Amino acid sequence: MSAPRPLRLGTRRSQLALAQSGMVAAQVTRVTGHPVELVEITTYGDVSRQALAQIGGTGVFVSALREALADGRIDFAVHSLKDLPTADPDGLVLAAIPVREDPWDVLVTHGRRTLAELPLGARIGTGSPRRMAQLRMLRPDLEVVAVRGNVDTRVGYVACGQLDAVVLARAGLARLGRLDVITEVLDATRMLPAPGQGALAIECRAADAASAELAALLAGLDDPATRAAVSAERALLAALEAGCSAPVGAYAEAATDDELLHLSAVAACVDGFDNVRLSACGPVSAAGLLGRHLAAEMLAKGAADLMGQRHPRAPLPTPSPPGSSRS
């Protein structure tokens, strides 16, 4: 009997993406018996140096991988779920959403100071409008600096004193074995994560028998509890008509009986001046409906007028790049 053919897994080239894809490759081999080859693909989001809000955010880390799937260069792809557009693409299927890593944002600070201990006007770096908004809700005095780059680059800004702190996803640090750099975890009471943060998405073609067989094999990695939670979060994001880079946070988790989901969400001005934050509960079996209902409540309270806007009474200075002097 011949050995199972290798499966080609498409992945971004970043250190984190390769670490995530390597973890999934090992799980796929364990579940399916097929060896897995990583195929590195460069996305527009990887080569652009513009802020995510400027290049659109939605799909910039995904489109090239989906093109490679569509034209048969790869058999399946691994994405950070928070990067996926909420619209379902033609001819592709989300075959599995594995168990979610811790979804929280974390603070990495100079001198190991907590958010409350940072000095007045401290410079804190992030490329996420969602994080910018919630940081300013917590500490309006902060100078939030737009930064991009890999984990080492952003942590390096803090290590050399160019920034007082940066905000990162704990999930990425965990997958890179870098939890030691964390000063403080910002849980849901202070900062709601991006919809889908901490979860991975395994996507493949759905158009032919061979692809359907692969999708069935990959389904062995699916975690129903994670899928239900992120389905509620992404349904809310879609109903708000907000993209991946919008200042929207959401987190769903199952209640103790695993039959109810509790969903919390926030939409805010980028400057944090105004926000709408609500929560709701609903059956796990109707996760998408829960997300849409909570989005409708948020829209009724003015969420659409807040997302991505700065309040006219609270103009913000243009953030200085790392390395510039304080004003």
Catalytic, 75? Answer: no
SS3 27: helix
Buried b (16+ CB within 10 A) or exposed e, 298-320: bbeeebbebbbeeeeeeeeeebe
Given the residues 71, 75, 83, 187, the one annotated as active site:
83
CA-only gyration radius of the chain, Å: 20
Please state, in angstroms and rounded to a whole number, the distance separating the CA atoms of residues 78 and 101.
15
Helix or strand holding residue 253 (H, E): strand 248-254
Find, among 147, 167, 144, the residue nearest to 270 by Cα.
144
Q: Which of 307, 67, 101 lies closest to 203 in space, CA to CA?
A: 67
Length of the chain measured in residues = 327
Among candidates 253, 319, 297, 270, which has minimal Cα distance to 121? Answer: 319
CB 272 within 8 A of CB 135: yes
Residue type, 246: A
- For residue 269, the one-letter residue type is C
Residues with catalytic function: 83
